[in-house]
Amino acid sequence: CSPYSDEVLDGFLELGPLHYFIPPSLGGRRTGAESYLNIVETTAYYSLPLGLTLGITGSLFLMPFLKHATPDLLARVIPDFLNGPALGGIMITEPTGGTDVFGLRTTIAQGDGSMTLTGRKCWGGLTGKAEHWLVAGRVVRGDRLTRSLKLLYVPRSSPGISVATTFDALGLQPIPYGETAFDDVEVPDAHNLTPKGTSVLRVMYDTLFRSRLGIAAIASGLCKRLSEEVDARAAKRVVFGGPIDRFDQVQYRLSSIRGLAQMNHCLLRFTAEWMDRHEDVSGHYVLVNAVKVVASDSMAAAADSATQLFASAAYKRNHLVGRAYVDSRPFQIFEGSNDVLHDNTFEIVAGKYGSVNSDAISQELETYGLRLPEDLPEGILAALSAAKESPQREQVQYGKIIEWIVVLAVVDHIHAKENAPVEDARRVASFHLAARLAELPYLG
């Protein structure tokens, strides 16, 4: 649970966990999305930052690089990940923000056989540590900054790159975050990962969406570990003459954390199979939003509840639960702020179907091979049907409801297919649906 040294990280990478992101044709072991998601889940069980490190390198760098780099570039770069402790990442966010990609100020000027990259990026996980980077920027023509985007492969060793500052981040040690400066960095045209006939925005969304879906694997590993830790703690912690797990409120917390672990494992199982069936996931907003926000929210909820059960013992920097409490919070912010995604979920469904009634939700679920759950809390569908002309704060709430319906549908799907234990997961999802409905009258 404590921050690990570079030697520990290098030793772990030497074991080849990143090989599961690389197909056998290039020397790796990837047999499908589940092969690497299971590795991420297991790693996050033991160390949340280490699980995130695999997610950053595997989902945000290797996956898009493998899809869009030229054969020559693949031949030069992929051996680093097969033969040594290499890391990679992506840089989109800038000091002025990251969600609004058309607000980026990093520029790319086309030259004769090469491009010139100029600007600043911040909050890129593994800043200064990873050698391999994908960097997003806007094309500049003369003095005009266009809306045309490019995604470039840029090695950290390129002349003109420097780490301007390293942030004293609140958590997720020892993953370094900071601000990177690109001062007239020359990038060969062959490093342009924008495929012909495809918008780079689509490439970026496909990359980010796959990474968001992968958060379920990290959440599954963390919640499973927290569930086991609190079960053991509650059985051993004696107060008022007996273990605390004899109290009903404690049993409720234990079953809730167990339910979050069950739920995230169902999300992992479903999204692994679903991603394998889709070459491009950039247009599937509702499913991706639901998995990302619910998985990240569940991490924070599980860590918060575990902290309450461990009490003062958890309030230490070197305690697994205390670190999970701090480390899980950024997942609700990066790769798309959850508040923005909630609103986006509502807008996508309303815009696509003209309403957010039961028929609209059913149709959207059918696109993922899912069915509308039959036992939703009373009043949920009626509330959604009346949501069309709502203020944004209510649309955010309706977005949360839609997301939890999607997750409940996934849980039911996995239970029907695999007979997986989901009783606690269903109760957690139903509770959140009822709670979001009950909050609606008080958002005025």
Q: At what angle do helices 33-46 and 200-236 cross, to 10 degrees?
A: 40
How many whole angstroms separate alpha carbon 444 and alpha carbon 179?
Answer: 40
How many whole angstroms separate alpha carbon 301 and alpha carbon 288?
20
Q: Whose structure tokens read 């002309």?
A: 389
327 contact partners, CB below 8 Å, separation of at least 6 = 48, 49, 171, 172, 303
pTM of the model: 0.96
Question: What's the confidence (pLDDT) of residue 1?
Answer: 55
Q: Residues of the chain whose pLDDT is less than 50?
A: none
Q: Let me know: does 401 contact 394? Beta carbons within 8 Å.
A: no
Reading the block at residue 16, the tokens are 């080849």
Closest CA to 58 of 152, 149, 126, 156: 126
Question: What are the φ and ψ backbone dihedral angles of 210, each rounded to 5 degrees?
Answer: -65, -40
pLDDT of residue 300: 98
Instruction: Please tell me the predicted confidence (pLDDT) of residue 66.
Output: 97
**CA-CA-CA-CA dihedral for 141, 144, 149, 150, to nearest 10:** 40
Pull the structure tokens for residue 186. Answer: 């020359």
Name, in order, each residue with C-beta under 8 angstroms of 442's C-beta and a sequence gap of 6 or more: none
